Amino acid sequence: MKKETTVPTMKDVAKEAGVALGTVSKVVNGLPVGESYRLRVEAAIEKLNYQVNSYAQGLKSSRTYTAALLIPNTKTPFFSSLAYYINLSLLKRNYRMLLCSTDFDLSQEQEYVTMAQQNKVDGIIGLTYNPNLLVDEHIPFVSIDRSMGPNIPCVASDNFAGGQLAAEKLADLGCKHVAFLRIGSSLSNEPNKRKSGFENGCLARGLTYEMKILNDGDSFEEFEKFLKDHIQNGKLIFDGIFCVTDNVAWSVLKILDKLHQQVPEDVQVIGFDGIRMFGDQDYICSTIVQPLPDIAEMCVELLLQENMMPKPPLVCLPVTYAWGGTTRENFEE
């Protein structure tokens, strides 16, 4: 009483329908075939519950209709939303998504790329941190947030404009002396431009500013020290703070609370990313929103576009400002 575990193949279908192998193949692939034959084949497929073996298919065509997404993890809201939208965009084109969490591990990143190249996927979308990442010429690769060379397109938000927008918003809302708080990799990537954009915006709007840039190992307590050092007579000398991410903003909000500074009355805070509670509800803070659906769509588009021709090296997508409770709704003096 052994359970028959063999799955029916095209050959079985052909035998069942009393037609040739090739005919079945044509029916399966929607190629023209005699009506009566088609019906018989379809009946046989139904009867045997036949499914094409995509591995045999892939072996022939070297197309797998699968793309790999390399991101650090899916726990962090930004990455998990990104994964969500990229999955959606891939699905729209009938592609499946292989998810590869790298946990910021550089060698893991390389391993995944190598793995992905073993003909398992048609292309890779990667948000990676390994500056020496080796990726084969032959496999389509699209990078997020970091330029990886002339032949690999990079998709990102317009981080510079985002920084600028933050400065402008703070100015619009009445700020005079602001701060920029940053933590991040020493790696050269697109999000680093938030700083320059912010400086630019401050200069343009006559805001004076100070910066606190944490090193890789530092904890958020450094921010607390920094802010504490800038309190005079119980009052923070900044009336606006731009944080490099919503996560930083959120930590800063906790610190400000501890230091008895009212937000947004005493000091207004703007973050970056556009993280929402539970993925789709309120914003955590006032923020510069990254256009995740657009980023995803662009990545997939670039990855799958047939003509390898003119792939742009860098695509920056427009960001928007969203109010999230940590800035004034309107400026009234």
Residues that bind DNA (CB under 7 A): 6-7, 9-11, 19-23, 25-26, 28-29, 32-34, 36-37, 51-53, 56-57, 59-61
In the complex, least distance from residue 212 CB atom to a copy of itself, rounded to whole angstroms: 20
Query: Among residues 5, 36, 186, 307, which is the contact residue for a copy of itself, using CB under 8 A?
Result: 5
CA distance 36 to 25: 15
Q: Which does 80 bind (CB under 5 to 8 A by kind): DNA, a copy of itself, none?
A: a copy of itself
Q: Which of DNA, a copy of itself, none has residue 9 at its interface (CB below 5 to 8 Å by kind)?
A: DNA
For DNA, the closer CB: 9 or 200: 9
What is the sign, positive or negative, of the torsion defined by CA atoms of 121, 124, 129, 135?
positive
Q: What minimum distance in Å lies between the beta carbon of 21 and a copy of itself? A: 16
Please identify, using beta-carbon distances, which residue of 41 and 100 lies nearer to DNA. 41
How does strand 231-232 pair with strand 235-236? antiparallel
Q: Could you give the CA distance from residue 235 to residue 198 in angstroms, rounded to a whole number?
A: 24
Report helix, strand or coil for 178: strand
Min dist. Cβ of residue 37 to a copy of itself (A): 23
User: In whole angstroms, how close is the CB of 34 to a copy of itself at the nearest point?
Assistant: 26
128 and 146 Cβ atoms separated by less than 8 Å = yes
| Minimum distance, C-beta of residue 16 to a copy of itself, in the bound complex (Å) | 18
- The secondary element (H helix, E strand) that includes residue 210 is strand 208-213
Q: Is 91 an interacting residue with respect to a copy of itself (CB under 8 A)?
A: yes
DSSP 255-315: HHHHTT--TTTT-EEEEEE--BGGGTSSBSSSEEEP-HHHHHHHHHHHHH-S--TT--SEE
Query: Whole-angstrom Cα distance, residue 112 to residue 86?
Result: 18
Tokens 């504490």 sit at which residue? 228
89 binding a copy of itself? (CB under 8 A) = no
Q: Which residues lie near a copy of itself (CB under 8 A)? A: 3, 5, 7, 49, 51-56, 58-59, 62, 64, 66, 69, 73-77, 80-81, 83-84, 87-88, 91, 96-101, 114-115, 117-120, 136-138, 247, 250, 275, 277-280, 284
